[in-house]
Every structure is written in structure tokens, then in C-alpha cells.
Chain A
């Protein structure tokens, strides 16, 4: 395989959720074992979330599916919502790695970078569409840990920080403006909107989502760069 192509190739979205990209290296067997168990739990949970539904799945069922004692699960995750959040953390890791792993994207216009970010997220989520829908509804509840826990806050902040980073790489965005200041947080809400649209998109290959994403990002970036409005 030519090297240039290898560079361009993005990491394949995992059919099963793989490890976080920064596992403890150096062969500490216990750490590795722990990570493997965590993975087993997440895989079992996702399979059940997808087939039975998020609300209908209990930690007991997850334990049975992962062939672990229910108590073991609580050593890793306090609640099933934490398992879901862990999954979303992996999603963000994957998306960031995808954008950063593509050398060409570094010099690409901002709208393409943002497109690649959201597209990588959707690519990761695609096998678990039913679960994502349930998680979305769950997150709307005022008591939802998926939306309102510290862990959820961290996740959101990481996402916003990465978007901020991409925005700062663009030299065309005037700094110090209100728009540029608010943009990363607004982008988070925008992403949730796209996710909702994607969940309801019945077009072949989710073409309509791609079109919406492309068009809205072009307009949004043009506004940010003060090329229009």
C-alpha cells in the first residue's frame, strides 16, 4: 500500500467498540485485564441497548450477557448511564482521532474540518442508532445523568474545547468577536440538532443529513468569517 494512501485512510469505525486510544502501556497485566473487563461490559451493554432498548435494559441483564457478577459491573460503572457516557467518550475519541489523523484535513477549510468531525461521530454511532435515539430522549429528562452529571459536563467541555481548537486554526475568523466566542458552545447545540435530524433521516445512505450538514456548515462558517450577513 502506498504510504500516501495509508495516511489518508481514516481509522475504521469499530463494529464493536474498541479500546480508548490511550490504554496503559508497558504491560501492567492488571491494568490490561481491567480494561478488557470494562470493554466486555460496554460491548454487552451496547448490544442490549440496541436490541432491547436503553430503558428496558437492567444492569443484571448486562452482567449476565457479559458473563460477570452484577457486583463486578458496579466496580466499573455506577449506573448504566455511565456505561452510555463511556460509549460517548469513546465516540469523541474516535472523532478527534479521525480529524487529527488525516494530514490533508489540517490545511482544509474550516467547514470541511467541522464536517469531518460530525461525520466521524455519526459514523461511530451508526451501528447503534436505536440506542442513540433512546439516549437522546433520556437526556431530555431533568434528572438524566447522561446530560447533567459531572461526567457529562466533562464530555461536553472536551467537545467544545476541540471545536474551539479547530476554530482557532482558521485564520479567517476575526478574534474577539461575540460570534467567535459563542461559536463553540453553539456548535454543541448544533451537533445535537444534526443528531436528531440524522435519527429521523430515512433517505438512502442518510444523504439528507449529509446535505444538511454540508449546507449549514458552509453558511455557518461564512457567517463566522464575516463573508456574509
Chain B
């Protein structure tokens, strides 16, 4: 075991583990930490994300959706550096690893036949972790190389149970105030949706179609004939992780190109598609030497309402003063859409964010459109999170912010790592200009 702990603490974890034998996601993860898996120890030894480690350790007593909540909270409250974020992002998708016999049994339970019969060849060792499961490489009988996602058994029910538990727990505590029911409901819907590979398949198909205007983005194709609720088969995309990509020392020009594309992808999704890939985990972006990008894992997708996006359109690159009555009125209307009243405190936080953060990263003056914002210079993500933290303190968080914040923080930390110089405002303006998809 990595840490010494009191008997009481251990008893508690044992209790969490056994309370409901298959019923709790917390149980799965408690078990994993209880058994002190090698992989985690290695990770803890190797990386330099000290804070991440500490927080990850602290969060281990609060795993499952509780941990996911903690993670969203941390993105929202913005006290964490970007390394920490990535550490947390990797935690969030962890399910206990399945050995080949278990993966095979789970596959067979869903598909009615074992993988070695369904596929021409099937790699027993997974090549990646997926949302609450793992991904195997396989070749279909018609010769296509595919990625087969298999979900850990029973995780959907476990997640649902944990939310029931969390609600009961949250009622009696301060958490309730930080997490109003609207927010909790939103999170539950999305985390449960992430366990539903059929809904993910629909997301993949939607984005494959909708992202077509962006020629440089590749989205996998769903093999519906080889997919079920806990098994999802997708065409394999090539490309490498950001770490591998950066290790080849790509030129500034290439990094700028990729950076601009990432930023455009984000605003194109939010403003034009009114739906976005809300899982900015680095493993979900596959980079290629020609500057094209593969986008995978559509388990967490947020669909926005037209009215909400219209409001964003009015606010983005707002040309006038951001402490003006007109601008504040726009913000108030956004909250009215959600049936909330914008408090004076939240309003101050939002106006400050619009001026101090967005005004600097995205100068609204069209004359400055050719200027490139250098994401390599400053860890913008820290500024971003400091601002969102102010907003959270002011209790001004809308459910949409949770996902926008997650995607945006992920975007900025990627751009920072790329040291990309990006014509931010020009790209946003382009996405604002045309609404036809």
C-alpha cells in the first residue's frame, strides 16, 4: 500500500467497498486504490505534477461521481495548475482495468459471441483506457482496423447508485449550496450518458456529419453492426498524442496552424453546431505531422439551446464597454434563460472576466484581427480559472458553464503546451459571421 493509514480509515474504505457489492462506482475505485495498483504507483512516481498527486490522493477517498464532481469543481474553482488538471482528467475516466478473460466475457454478454469469433483478429491487450472501460484494437472480417471500446460490467448502475447516495449526502451538508440541484442533475445526466455507448454512437455520427466543413478534422465512423450498449466499435484513426507530437519538435508554423485549428474547432462547435465535445482530455486529440487532427471519444457531448448560443454570440467580441448597462443587460438575459436572477456579485465577476480575460485574449477591435495571441507566453488557463473561481464564489455558475469551462480550460492548456500563436479574434469572428451549418 502506498500510504500508511489508520485502522478507521481503512475500515471506512472497506465499508465503502463492501457496502454494495456491485452497486457502487466508488466501490470499484476504492478497491483499486485498496489493492494499490502498480500503474498508479508508477504514474505517481514518474510525473512532476506534485499538486496533482496530492489532490489525486485526497480525492481517492471521494471517488466515482463524487470525484468527478470534485474535478468539475476544481475546474470551476480554478485553484489548480494545468498539470494537475491533466492528472485529474486521467483519473476521471479510470475504471478498474479488465483482464482479457473479463473483457471477453463482457463482450460476449453484449454481442452474444466471443470477440475472436466476431472479429478476424482481436487484440486481447487494450491499447487505451476509455470512459469507464478500455479500448482494444481489432480487425473486422471485412478487413477494417477498428477500435473496440468495452465497458467495465455494471458501471452504469453503479454510477446511478452513487448519485442517489451523493444526493442523500449532499442534502445534509454545505455541498448543496455549491451544487444546486440543476447542476447536479446536469452532471448526472452527462455522467450516465457517458456510460451509454449507444448515445455515444449517435454523437459520433452527428459530429462526423457536422464537422465536415472543417476539412482538417477527422472523426471515426461507427460500426453499428459491431456495437451494443456496452461495446462500441469505431474505425481506427491514426495520429499521436500531444506528447508524442511535441517530442518531434514541430515547427512554430505547424504549432500555430494546429493551435488555430483547435481554437476554430471549439468555436465552430459552440457557435455553429450548438453542441460541443466536452471532454478535453489530451488523449482525445490525435495530432498528425500534416496539421490535421483526429477527434475521438464523444462520450461527453453538451448540446446547447439556440437561445443560449444567441446570447453567447451577442457577448463574444462585444465591441463596446463591458461595464456598460447594455452589456450587463445581455448577461442578465443569459441567466434569465435559465430562470435565474443574476446577482450583483456574479455580475461583477462576469464583467471583470469579460474585461480582464476575454478582452485581452480576444481583442474585439477588428483592426487587431491579424494579431496573434501567444499562448506559450502565459499560462492563460490559470487566468481563466482564476476568473471562473471568482464566478463560482459569487455562486454565478450556470449548468452550461460546467461543460464550457471544462472544454475551454482544456483548450487553453493544450494551446499553452503547443506554444501556439493564434489569431483568436479573427477565428471567433469567422464563426460568428455565418450561421448556416
Contact mask for chain B residues 74-103; partner A; CB cutoff 8 A; 1 contact, 0 none:
000000000000000000000010111110
Asked if B154 contacts A5 (CB within 8 A), the reply is no
CB of B35, distance to nearest CB on chain A (Å)? 5
Report if A177 contacts B (CB, 8 A): no
Asked if A112 contacts B100 (CB within 8 A), the reply is yes
Could you say which interface size class chain A belongs to? 20 to 34
Report if A25 contacts B (CB, 8 A): no
**Chain A contacts of B1 at CB under 8 A?**
228
Report if B229 contacts A (CB, 8 A): yes
Asked if A8 contacts B116 (CB within 8 A), the reply is yes
Asked if B99 contacts A115 (CB within 8 A), the reply is yes
Listed stretches B64-72, B106-114, B347-355, B379-387; interface member: B106-114
**Chain A contacts of B303 at CB under 8 A?**
none
Asked if A109 contacts B99 (CB within 8 A), the reply is yes
**Chain B contacts of A112 at CB under 8 A?**
99-102
For A115, give its contact among B101, B110, B157 (CB under 8 Å): B101
**Chain B contacts of A215 at CB under 8 A?**
21-22, 27-28, 31, 96
CB of B94, distance to nearest CB on chain A (Å)? 15
Report if A36 contacts B (CB, 8 A): no
Report if B362 contacts A (CB, 8 A): no
A214 to B28, CA, bound (A): 10
Contact mask for chain A residues 1-18; partner B; CB cutoff 8 A; 1 contact, 0 none:
010010011100000000
**Residue of A2, A9, A207, A222 with most partner-chain B CB within 10 A:** A207
A175-229 interface with B by 8 A CB criterion = 203-208, 210-212, 214-216, 218-219, 222, 227-228
Report if A119 contacts B (CB, 8 A): yes
Given the known inter-chain contacts A204-B229, A228-B35, please indicate yes or no for A5 contacting B105, CB distance below 8 A: no
CB of A15, distance to nearest CB on chain B (Å)? 13
Report if A108 contacts B (CB, 8 A): yes
A110 to B99, CA, bound (A): 11
Asked if A205 contacts B230 (CB within 8 A), the reply is yes
**Chain B contacts of A9 at CB under 8 A?**
114, 116-117
**Residue of A116, A206, A208, A214 with most partner-chain B CB within 10 A:** A214
Asked if B157 contacts A208 (CB within 8 A), the reply is yes
The chain B residue sitting closest to A102, CB to CB, is B101
Report if B152 contacts A (CB, 8 A): yes
**Chain B contacts of A10 at CB under 8 A?**
114
**Chain B contacts of A155 at CB under 8 A?**
none
**Chain A contacts of B109 at CB under 8 A?**
204-207, 210
**Chain A contacts of B155 at CB under 8 A?**
211
A1-56 interface with B by 8 A CB criterion = 2, 5, 8-10
Report if A96 contacts B (CB, 8 A): no
Report if B327 contacts A (CB, 8 A): no
**Chain A contacts of B357 at CB under 8 A?**
none
CB of B121, distance to nearest CB on chain A (Å)? 7
**Chain A contacts of B116 at CB under 8 A?**
5, 8-9
Interface of A is mostly: helix
Asked if A2 contacts B121 (CB within 8 A), the reply is yes
Report if B308 contacts A (CB, 8 A): no
Could you say which interface size class chain B belongs to? 20 to 34
The chain A residue sitting closest to B34, CB to CB, is A228
A203 to B154, CA, bound (A): 8
Asked if A8 contacts B124 (CB within 8 A), the reply is yes
Contact mask for chain A residues 92-116; partner B; CB cutoff 8 A; 1 contact, 0 none:
0000000000001100110110011
A228 to B96, CA, bound (A): 18
Given the known inter-chain contacts A104-B124, A214-B153, please indicate yes or no for A115 contacting B102, CB distance below 8 A: yes
A192 to B130, CA, bound (A): 33
**Chain B contacts of A111 at CB under 8 A?**
99
B184-221 interface with A by 8 A CB criterion = none
**Chain A contacts of B100 at CB under 8 A?**
104, 108, 112
For A212, give its contact among B21, B99, B105 (CB under 8 Å): B21
Asked if B106 contacts A210 (CB within 8 A), the reply is yes
A204 to B111, CA, bound (A): 11
The chain B residue sitting closest to A227, CB to CB, is B35
Asked if B152 contacts A211 (CB within 8 A), the reply is yes
Asked if A208 contacts B153 (CB within 8 A), the reply is yes
For B101, give its contact among A116, A206, A212 (CB under 8 Å): A116
The chain B residue sitting closest to A210, CB to CB, is B153
B290-346 interface with A by 8 A CB criterion = none
**Chain B contacts of A210 at CB under 8 A?**
102, 105-106, 109, 153-154
Contact mask for chain B residues 146-190; partner A; CB cutoff 8 A; 1 contact, 0 none:
000000111101100000000000000000000000000000000
A207 to B195, CA, bound (A): 14
B96-142 interface with A by 8 A CB criterion = 96, 98-102, 105-106, 108-110, 114, 116-117, 121, 124
A203 to B151, CA, bound (A): 14
CB of A97, distance to nearest CB on chain B (Å)? 15
Chain B residues proximal to chain A, CB less than 8 Å: 1, 17, 21-22, 27-28, 31, 34-36, 96, 98-102, 105-106, 108-110, 114, 116-117, 121, 124, 152-155, 157-158, 229-230
16 contacts between A and B (CB under 8 A): A8-B116, A108-B100, A112-B99, A203-B154, A204-B110, A207-B154, A208-B153, A211-B22, A211-B152, A211-B155, A212-B21, A212-B22, A214-B102, A214-B153, A215-B21, A228-B35
Query: A211-B28, A212-B22, A215-B96 given. 11 additional CB < 8 A pairs?
Result: A8-B124, A104-B124, A108-B99, A115-B101, A204-B230, A211-B158, A214-B99, A219-B17, A219-B34, A222-B35, A227-B35
The list of the 9 closest CB pairs from A to B, nearest first, reads A205-B109, A207-B153, A211-B154, A210-B153, A211-B153, A112-B99, A116-B101, A211-B22, A207-B154
